[in-house]
Amino acid sequence: MSHPWQLATTPLTETPVAPEGLTATVPRQLVHRASVAETFLTGATSTEADRFTVFAEWPRAHQLHVSPDRSAYEPLLVAETVRQAGTLIAHTAYEVPLGHQFVLTELRIITRPEHLAIGTAPAAPVLHITVSDVTRRGGRPAGFRYDAEIRLGDRRVGSAHVAATWTSAAVYRRLRGGRTAATVSVLPLPPGLPPAVVDRALPSDVVLAPAEVPDRWQLRVDTGHAVFFDHPLDHVPGMLLLEAVRQAIRARTRKSPRRPASFHAVFHQYAELDLPLWIEAVGDPGAHGTDVQVVGRQGKSTVFECGVGTEEG
């Protein structure tokens, strides 16, 4: 019996096979996580080139990815699951060595929150993924785009389009000019917004600090946060930036609450740990049906832009 997560094209060595009927997560290194608890994928199969089925399990309780009242999964859990699926496929089907550095350049995700209610057991989503536009450097894959359909049972709960590139650790070190998690000095944490304003239960999960300009906030970067910084990084991770977008929408609409349901993020450059990063909701409609535009800036540079589609709630 083949391992349930091992793809037919995998270049990896064999790993222990789980007994029939039991579920285990994939090796955490394949999804760039240090914690097994933050590893949501349980398997993957492929029957034809560039098409994959990825299996996952979502916990009923989670510090970030479950609503504070534990009634629903957050849309950003869908985003994180899709991100993990891309790294799994890259390593197991496209010969990307472990240790390569990934760069997320675009993420477009649409969710249906009405189908993300938490049930009496952990949800087991299935992702149907199609890879396209594989770029090559020196004859080896150096990046790709992929589309994902996310289903819970017979319901489609989301869809996504992702673009990512990767590079070796040596090239990454040159690109970063010697900046490492050990050498970069992180800015002190400014006081955050009240948790209820951004629909969070704990002050430690608030990633926005108030600013003097309306609809503008400073990003709070806590490198000790167990989810955002599951392992040491030399830059602000993309999922923290997306959470900042989510919280900006909540803070901006607190008098008439809106909840983010879709995101279209484009990442232009690394967000640095030692520079203030300002999050601003500009209110202009974006592409792909989004109705609010959020940007992140450091100095004179726009680090990322994200259009957000919202619903009442």
pLDDT in tens, 98-140: 999 999 999 999 999 999 999 999 999 999 999 999 999 988 9
In terms of phi and psi (left: phi > 0; alpha: psi -120 to 50; beta: otherwise), the region of 297 is beta
pLDDT surpassing 80 at residue 226? yes
Rounded distance between C-alpha atoms, residue 311 and residue 260, angstroms:
6
pLDDT in tens, 269-293: 999 999 999 999 987 665 556 789 9
Task: Specify the pTM.
Answer: 0.91
What pLDDT is recorded for position 277?
98
pLDDT surpassing 80 at residue 78? yes
Rounded distance between C-alpha atoms, residue 265 and residue 261, angstroms:
13
pLDDT surpassing 50 at residue 15? no
Q: Which residues contact 153 (CB under 8 A, 6 or more apart)?
A: none
pLDDT surpassing 60 at residue 20? no
pLDDT surpassing 90 at residue 11? no
Rounded distance between C-alpha atoms, residue 174 and residue 137, angstroms:
17
Token couple for 210: 């108030």
For the beta carbon of residue 299, count every other beta carbon within 10 angstroms.
11
Q: 136 and 142 in contact (C-beta within 8 Å)? A: yes
What pLDDT is recorded for position 289?
66
What pLDDT is recorded for position 243?
98
Strand pairing partners for 279? 217, 296
Strand pairing partners for 311? 259
Rounded distance between C-alpha atoms, residue 134 and residue 7, angstroms:
18
What pLDDT is recorded for position 282?
86
Domain ranges of the chain: 28-174, 180-312
SS3 percent helix, strand, coil of the chain, rounded to 5, is 20, 35, 45
Token couple for 170: 């040596």
Mean pLDDT, the chain, rounded, equals 90
Rounded distance between C-alpha atoms, residue 313 and residue 31, angstroms:
32
Q: 43 and 129 in contact (C-beta within 8 Å)? A: no
Dihedral in degrees, nearest 10, Cα atoms 244, 30, 123, 68: -30
DSSP letters of 232-283? Answer: --SB--HHHHHHHHHHHHHHHTTTS-EEEEEEEEEE-SPPBTTS--EEEE--
* Torsion sign over Cα 9, 15, 21, 22: negative
109 membership: H or E segment, kind and range:
strand 101-111
pLDDT surpassing 50 at residue 84? yes
Number of H helices, E strands in the chain: 3, 12
pLDDT in tens, 21-39: 567 899 999 999 999 999 9
- 28-174 and 180-312: identical CATH topology: yes
DSSP type of residue 12: S
CATH topology of domain 28-174: Thiol Ester Dehydrase; Chain A (3.10.129)
pLDDT in tens, 170-220: 999 999 998 999 999 999 999 999 999 999 999 999 999 999 999 999 999
For the beta carbon of residue 140, count every other beta carbon within 10 angstroms.
10
What pLDDT is recorded for position 307?
94
Rounded distance between C-alpha atoms, residue 172 and residue 18, angstroms:
35
pLDDT in tens, 244-271: 999 999 999 888 888 999 999 999 999 9
Percentage of the chain modeled with pLDDT above 70: 91
CATH homologous superfamily of domain 180-312? Hotdog Thioesterase (3.10.129.10)
